[in-house]
């Protein structure tokens, strides 16, 4: 007997057809759709599809777990076999239970021959984000080798466009648009961490979807190891997206009674473009209790020592940096790499988590005391999962690294990966961090992870990425429970470990090592599709960026980072008094607006000039907004366009104020525009429909514009 089960979020629905002899199939995913009993019956009649010539004689529905055994061909979502090579084509025709509420469905199904059981979880939450995972249990007596278990969601045939994410070190979160067509796109990440190259992020949508319009579906696998995703278009026109962990050979062997749970696939639909999709994801991350909250009521401004001094820890200089940082308005001072034993360059020391006596003869106490006395918090850099061959730890325990016996493996940044699934290695690292956190007033950890995994052989010699990822989560979670007031940032040479599983245990992501604002514009834009501003570690650096050598103004640098969790790293002692004052001015301005930035709705405006980014935040009451108009490249047209924002209240009147002035009155304009003269008063309706005339801007410059509604 077939029946319809509907799951509803606030603005979207997922409708499934279920019966007693097969796994459910998703028959609708889109805008809110509530069906009467009659309509549900009518829908069932419309699930009967023609059977074409030269094909199987029965229609094969696209279920939540397409299988070889049922004619699922390349969509097969469960791969594996029992040791004798059997049980590789199960069917799961026995539905044990099917429990649903208004927004969730749990199905338990078994395959009698292979003695495997699937438990499928599907929820659509109030923020319209689907959370989907599956647990596979081996009920039989033989071991079952699992080769892959994918989470599948169908797309309707009108979804033709795709935005994929890729990148590399100092160039993360880049996007690429293409058409979805036959046959199939397969993306694999085998780097052992979430990765820059192929992060588990995907957005698809209707033709030409953009920031403000179109039907958009976004997908993200919450997992910090290997993964794969596929965008399938079948020859019969059906489309399916699949995400899952990419398992290495024999990585998961399920003994009798053992189970494997997939990471969670997060997916969301919006009929209002990328902005609508981001709003769903951001609201979920902000408001659900799945992610740990930040400790202070605000995100403190960071100063990080890395680009100010690298490995050279000169105590006098550090002391001067502390004084200067505090006087400018910094709220958290972070001592980056270089503080522990033997760490004079990147070739030595990882693993020896003891304060270097030569650089810090009195430990970190004098530094921390001075930081606290100046009203700031203190943070410290770690890279716990790594070991340099030149370290006491490696000399004592070479067997603690992730490795395949009798093979040599390449170093990465002169380091190997510690196998945290070895209990003694885990205990050692945990104890080192525990001691440092208990003995020092540390409020924040920058938790780094600077290399990809190669030959990641686990304890029993088998592939061990899966175990390593779980052990890392365990370690961070344990420390989080022991020190709940310590915030942790997920860093992986920048943004190579940004995902919703690591974010269950960490408060912030280090987005990129690149602090050149020109590059950061695209990096941060890419990041912003899935993750909200307060999680985005956004640092600026010196006028000449260390990673690109490009020169840029302080305004462009600092305002580029305004729409994230602000910080900076540069040798403050080289700044003139005027520069310090300018910096202090902007930090003060940021403090005034960060509450809005970190809670408001992010909106990006479609522009006709591809060298221009326009984005901003609007508070829920639509009484306050802050926008950045960013001219990255030379303006496309001779005269600038108007700024049209349709996310304000058309009934309200706004005071519109330009918050920075100096850099946009130069050569490109003979006469400026009213916006540059100061304050404007203009209705929300006019702003949406006609717009505010922008000035002609120089390349690499930003205007920061505030909107305050006149409450009558
Ligand atoms: C990584 C990080 C940097 C810095 C260095 C220190 O590259 O991404 O921000 O902390 O390590 O070695």
Give the angle 180-184-186 at the CA atoms, nearest 5°.
105
pLDDT digits (tens, 9 = 90+) for 524-554: 999 999 999 999 999 999 999 999 999 999 9
Mean pLDDT, residues 311-331 taken together = 98
Rounded-to-integer distance, Cα 640 and Cα 646, Å? 19
Q: Is the pLDDT of residue 655 over 60?
A: yes
Distance, CA of 227 to CA of 478 (rounded, Å)? 25
User: What DSSP letter does each residue of 155-177 carry, written as one string?
Assistant: E-TTEEEEEEEEEETTEEEEEEE
Banded pLDDT at 665 (limits 50, 70, 90):
low
Phi, psi dihedral angles at 162 (to 5 degrees): -140, 145
Residue 410 neighbours by CB distance under 10 Å: 9
Confidence of residue 173 (pLDDT cuts 50, 70, 90): very high
Give the side-chain half-sphere CA count within 13 A for 424: 8
Specify whether the CB–CB gap between 383 and 449 falls below 8 A. yes
Q: Is the pLDDT of residue 55 over 60?
A: yes
CB 624 within 8 A of CB 630: no
Residue 513 CB-density burial (10 A; 0-12 exposed, 13-18 middle, 19+ buried): buried
pLDDT at 710: 81
Q: Of the listed 161, 356, 448, 452, which one is catalytic?
A: 448
Please tell me the distance between residue 493's alpha carbon and the centre of ligand 1 in angstroms: 6
What confidence score (pLDDT) does residue 188 get? 98
From 493, 546, 569, the mutation candidate for ligand 1 (largest count of ligand atoms within 8 A of CB) is: 493
Catalytic residue check, 499: no
Distance 237 CA to ligand 1 centre (A): 47
What pLDDT shows up at residue 663? 57
Contact 523, 511 (CB under 8 A): yes
**Helix (H), strand (E), coil (C) string for 432-447:** HHHHHHHHCCCCEEEE
Q: What is the mean pLDDT of the segment spanning 258-268?
A: 98
Q: Note if 606 is an active site residue.
A: no
- pLDDT tens digits for range 231-247: 999 999 999 999 999 99
Give residue 54's pLDDT: 94
Tens of pLDDT, residue by residue over 80-123, are 999 889 999 999 999 999 999 999 999 999 999 999 999 999 99
**Coil, strand or helix at 235:** coil
Tell me the three state secondary structure of residue 623: coil
CA distance 136 to 212: 40
Q: What percentage of the chain has pLDDT greater than the value 70?
A: 99
Q: Mean pLDDT check: name the lowest of 123-127, 130-134, 289-293.
A: 289-293
Q: 209-246 burial, b for 16+ CB within 10 Å, e for fewer?
A: bebbbbbbbbbbbbbbbbbbbbbbbbeeebbbbbbbbb
In tens, the pLDDT along 180-212 reads: 999 999 999 999 999 999 999 999 999 999 999
The whole-number average pLDDT for the span 38-46 is: 97
Please check the confidence at residue 712 and state whether its pLDDT lies above 80. no
- Select from 379, 448, 538 the residue to mutate for testing ligand 1; criterion: most ligand atoms less than 8 Å from CB: 448
Task: Return the minimum-mean-pLDDT range out of 330-339, 343-352, 563-572, 674-683.
Answer: 674-683
pLDDT above 60: residue 607: yes
Q: What is the rounded average pLDDT for all residues in the chain? A: 96
pLDDT of 711 reads 63
* 376 alpha carbon – ligand 1 mean position (Å): 22
Pocket of ligand 1 (CB under 6 A): 306, 336-337, 381, 448, 450, 491, 493-494, 510, 513
Give the global pTM.
0.98
DSSP assignment letter at 698: P
Report all structural domains of the chain as residue ranges with CATH numbers, in order of start.
3-277 (2.70.98.60), 602-709 (2.60.40.1180)
């Amino acid at each position: 007997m077939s029946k319809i089960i509907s799951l509803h979020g606030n603005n979207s629905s997922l409708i499934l057809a279920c019966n007693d002899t097969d796994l459910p199939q998703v028959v609708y995913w889109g805008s809110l759709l509530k069906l009467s009993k009659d309509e549900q019956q009518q829908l069932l009649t419309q699930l009967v599809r023609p059977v074409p010539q030269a094909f199987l004689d029965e229609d094969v529905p696209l279920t939540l777990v397409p299988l070889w055994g049922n004619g699922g061909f390349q969509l097969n979502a469960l791969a594996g076999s029992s040791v004798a090579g059997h049980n590789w084509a199960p069917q799961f025709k026995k539905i044990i239970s099917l429990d649903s509420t208004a927004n969730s469905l749990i199905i338990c199904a078994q395959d009698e021959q292979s003695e495997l059981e699937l438990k499928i979880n599907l929820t659509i939450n109030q923020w319209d984000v689907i959370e989907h995972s599956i647990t596979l249990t081996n009920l039989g007596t033989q071991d079952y080798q699992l080769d892959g278990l994918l989470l599948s969601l169908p797309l309707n045939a009108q979804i033709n466009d795709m935005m994929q994410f890729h990148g590399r070190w100092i160039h993360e979160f880049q996007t690429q648009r293409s058409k979805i067509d036959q046959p199939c796109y397969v993306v694999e990440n085998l780097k052992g961490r979430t990765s820059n190259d192929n992060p588990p992020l995907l957005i698809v949508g209707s033709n030409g979807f953009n920031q403000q319009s179109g039907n958009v579906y976004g997908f993200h696998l919450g997992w910090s190891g290997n993964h794969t995703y596929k965008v399938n278009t079948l020859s019969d026109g059906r489309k399916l997206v699949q995400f899952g962990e990419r398992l290495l050979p024999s990585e998961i062997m399920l003994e009798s009674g053992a189970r494997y749970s997939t990471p969670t696939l997060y997916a969301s639909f919006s009929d209002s473009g990328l902005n609508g999709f981001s709003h769903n994801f951001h609201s979920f991350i902000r408001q659900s209790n799945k992610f740990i909250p930040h400790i202070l009521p605000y995100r403190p401004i960071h100063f990080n020592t890395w680009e100010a001094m690298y490995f050279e820890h000169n105590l006098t200089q550090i002391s001067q940096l502390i004084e200067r940082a505090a006087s400018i308005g910094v709220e958290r001072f972070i001592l980056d790499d270089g503080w522990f034993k033997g760490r004079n360059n990147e070739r030595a020391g990882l693993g020896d988590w003891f304060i270097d006596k030569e650089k810090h003869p009195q430990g970190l106490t004098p530094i921390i005391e001075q930081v606290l006395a100046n009203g700031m918090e203190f943070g410290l850099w770690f890279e716990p999962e790594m070991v340099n061959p030149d370290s006491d730890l490696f000399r004592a325990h070479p067997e603690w690294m992730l490795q395949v016996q009798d093979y040599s493996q390449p170093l990465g940044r002169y380091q190997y990966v510690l196998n945290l699934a070895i209990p003694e290695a885990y205990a050692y690292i945990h104890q080192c961090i525990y001691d440092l956190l208990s003995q020092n007033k540390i409020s924040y950890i920058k938790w780094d992870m600077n290399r990809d995994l190669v030959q990641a052989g686990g304890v029993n010699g088998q592939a061990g990425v899966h175990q390593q990822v779980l052990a890392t989560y365990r370690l961070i979670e344990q420390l989080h429970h022991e020190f709940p007031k310590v915030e942790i940032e997920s860093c992986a040479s920048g943004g190579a470990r940004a995902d919703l599983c690591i974010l269950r245990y960490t408060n912030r992501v280090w987005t990129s090592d690149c602090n050149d604002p020109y590059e950061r514009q695209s990096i941060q834009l890419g990041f912003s599709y899935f993750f909200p501003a307060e999680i985005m570690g956004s640092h600026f650096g010196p006028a000449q960026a260390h990673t690109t050598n490009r020169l840029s103004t302080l305004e462009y640098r600092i305002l580029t980072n305004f729409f994230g969790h602000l910080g900076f790293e540069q040798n403050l002692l080289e700044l003139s008094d005027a520069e310090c004052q300018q910096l202090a001015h902007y930090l003060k301005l940021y403090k005034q607006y960060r509450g809005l930035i970190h809670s408001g709705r992010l909106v990006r405006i479609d522009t006709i000039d591809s060298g221009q980014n326009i984005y901003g935040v609007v508070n829920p009451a639509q009484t306050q907004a802050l926008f950045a108009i960013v001219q990255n490249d030379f303006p496309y047209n001779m005269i600038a366009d108007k700024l049209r924002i349709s996310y304000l209240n058309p009934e309200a009147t706004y005071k519109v104020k330009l918050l920075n002035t100096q850099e946009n009155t130069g050569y490109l304009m003979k006469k400026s525009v009213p916006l540059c003269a100061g304050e404007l008063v203009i209705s929300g309706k006019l702003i949406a429909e006609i717009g505010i005339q922008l000035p002609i801007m120089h390349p690499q410059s930003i205007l920061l514009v505030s909107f305050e509604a006149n409450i009558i």
